[in-house]
Structure 1
Amino acid sequence: MADDIANGAASAAATDAAPQPQFGLQRIYVKDASFEAPNAPQIFQEQGQPELQLNLGQKVSNLSEGVFEVVLTVSLTCTINSKNAYLAEVQQAGIFNISGLDAQNTDGLLGTYAPNALFPYARRLIADLVQDGGFQPFLLQPINFDQIYAEALRRRQQEAAGEQQPAAGNA
């Protein structure tokens, strides 16, 4: 019984000494935001179906040991009858702390959780910019960042596998 207690205490001490995975959000902020309506006010007279083009981007920067800045860029372009109605672009950023995780899990968190945390802020800002610009409100639909990350990871693995295969005919 005394051995069990001693082993339990040693096990607890070993668990306390091992670094526990930690993930934290320090700050969320707008890094950049812009709205352009190059053909206003004439564009308000145009009749036709608006065509929307949405582009997403993400950039991760390592600020220091275990501290990362993630910038989610959302660009929305609207054209009516081949004329630019507006361009709204937001760079929503956040500073994240990650420790106790391997590189693969860190990459996964930065590629999925971080943009999921930033997206509602970017979504609101895009909606406000478009509406404040005098256009019909635009609400971005939810985005599956897990699926986007999985697809990007699959492409990276295919590219890495392609680089490892020797070119045909080179023997």
Structure 2
Amino acid sequence: MRHKIQQPPPPAGPGYIKDAGAKFSHSSFTHHTASMKTVAVVLAVAAVVSSGPVRLSSYGPLPRYTPTPEYRPADPYYNAPAVYSFDWGVSDGFGNDYGHSEDRDGHSTRGSYFVNLPDGRLQKVAYAVDGDSGFVADFSYVGEAHYPSYRPGPAYRPAPAYGPGPVYGPITTYG
């Protein structure tokens, strides 16, 4: 047995919606909704405007930013050429031996650093920078490189194969 599904009747005419026997004009319904939205927006704006200035804090008036009208150059300290000198080093008796020193006067910088290399040599680097000439480094090494002699490790031997596991007898039950 089949049931026939009834389709709702078509609208009464173009632009009309039939609901509970009353007819509403679609265009007048849209106009009415738009008018209500306009009234709501106008009332919200009026409420905000009539409430006075918005205060972020109850502790007093808001601070005002007043920029200084004149330009003030940086302090002369920042305009002076850099002048410094430092020196540090580490030698702890466990093979750590390294250090760095540098002198700067204006645009001229000279310095050096040294470090023990893993092969037993001491690497020294002296460098200089004069204005825009770039970084010029001179590398030198003290001592002979020593590499440990090759000692082969033990030859590969596969692990022993395991034999069959233990054999268990019948389960004893006590009655």
Q: TM-score under structure 1 normalisation?
A: 0.21
More strand by share: 1
Q: TM-score under structure 2 normalisation?
A: 0.20
More helix by share: 1
The structure having more radius of gyration, on CA atoms, is 2
